[in-house]
Amino acid sequence: MTHTFCMKMFFILSVFGLILTSLTVSVFAESQEKSTVSIGYQPSTHQLAFMTAYQKGWYNETLSPIGVSDIKVFNFPTGAPEMQAMLAGDLDFAYVGSAPFVTAVSNGLDAKIIASANTQGSDLVMKKDLPYEKPEDLKGKKIATFPAGTIQDTILREWLQANNIDPVKDVDIKAMGPGDATTAILAGQVDAVFLPHPAPVTIEKENVGRIIVHSGEMEKGHSCCVLVASGDMIRNHPDIVQEVLRLHLKATEYNNEHPDEAAEHMQALTSIDPKAVIQSLDEWDGSFEIDPTKITSSVGTFAKQQSELGYLKCEVSEEALFDLTFWNALNS
């Protein structure tokens, strides 16, 4: 059954690729009209570009001249429910971790990565009263992280296995969103958390935990969040896709020059203390890398790791995950 599913998926994606190539020799091919655009995101510094672009009104300003009158935004705790929403057809674009996107594609999602949002940027945080010198010290501990198939879950399990720690038998991994995981460690319900920023800083500021391992130490240079466009948007509304990508670049560059303002925009959408956001940007090991060509290898690694973990219905290829047409047009 799995083999049949994979063959069907390969055929469908190949057909879509041929259609896209024939219809969009230029990214600026004629688009169908679309008045409403829906965008998903998560409350993380990894996705600051979206928050700044939205709060500054750039989506309305840029997309209204091409017929878009309504921008709907949806906040998700993690990538798993966000990809479920995209599979249901509720999202046109998503700022999401590349790992849950890979899982969704293996489940039939018709969408592609059009840009990177960031690399690295998550931390393993341990309760201050617990000793830690080496990975073995985690044995017997309860660790909260994002649900199965997410960036954090995948990296944590691979890192534990690489250090001869069975992620099922030697530790107790609890699937939680950032808010619940933060509450859990503050309440002493778990011993550690592995979360994207700014959650690690929030926990530090409460004087409850300390950062013990950066995600870049677990897997150097790993991809994290990406900007995804639905297949419908790519095929039927390439002009909107191109402008959304342009705004992603503009907002990323703006945030690099105006971090204090970016923190205020994040607070407006998430209620997270701007001071925690700024401290997060100072302490994290992340980078706002937006070039999708620089993460293809890392995303491919996630696909292999998730296949080994049993998260994928079938292996997915780079062609099934990326559409570089819009990025290349932006940089031509």
205 and 260 housed in the same domain: no
CB of 109 closer than 8 Å to CB of 321: no
Task: Indicate if the pLDDT at residue 299 is higher than 80.
Answer: yes
Model confidence pLDDT, tens digit, residues 58-88: 999 999 999 999 999 999 999 999 999 999 9
pLDDT for position 332: 83
- pLDDT value at residue 25: 39
Q: Is residue 17 part of a domain?
A: no
Give the Cα-Cα-Cα angle 224, 225, 227 (nearest 5 degrees). Answer: 145
Let me know whether 55 and 130 are in one domain: no
210 and 130 assigned to the same domain: yes
What percentage of the chain reaches a pLDDT higher than 70?
91
Q: Domain of 205? A: 122-218
Tell me, yes or no, whether 164 lies in a domain: yes
Closest CA to 113 of 274, 312, 302, 305: 302
The last residue of a domain, from among 183, 218, 253: 218
User: pLDDT-based confidence at 18, cuts 50/70/90?
Assistant: very low
What average pLDDT does the chain have? 92
Q: What is the pLDDT of residues 154-204, one digit of tens each?
A: 999 999 999 999 999 999 999 999 999 999 999 999 999 999 999 999 999
227 and 313 inside one domain? yes
- pLDDT band, residue 33 (cuts 50/70/90): confident
CA distances from 185 to 18, 180, 218 (A): 50, 9, 21
Of the three residues 183, 201, 218, the one that is the final residue of a domain is 218
| Domain end marker among 218, 236, 254 | 218
Number of domains in the chain: 2
Question: The domain spanning residue 276 has which CATH number?
Answer: 3.40.190.10
Residues 113 and 129 in one domain: no
**Is position 12 within any domain?**
no
Do 137 and 106 share a structural domain?
no
Instruction: Compute the distance between CA of residue 115 and CA of residue 174 in angstroms, rounded to an integer.
Output: 30
- pLDDT grade for 20, boundaries at 50, 70 and 90: very low
Which tokens belong to 22? Answer: 């024939």
Judgement on whether residues 70 and 205 belong to the same structural domain of the protein:
no
Residues 214 and 277 in one domain: no
pLDDT at 6: 54
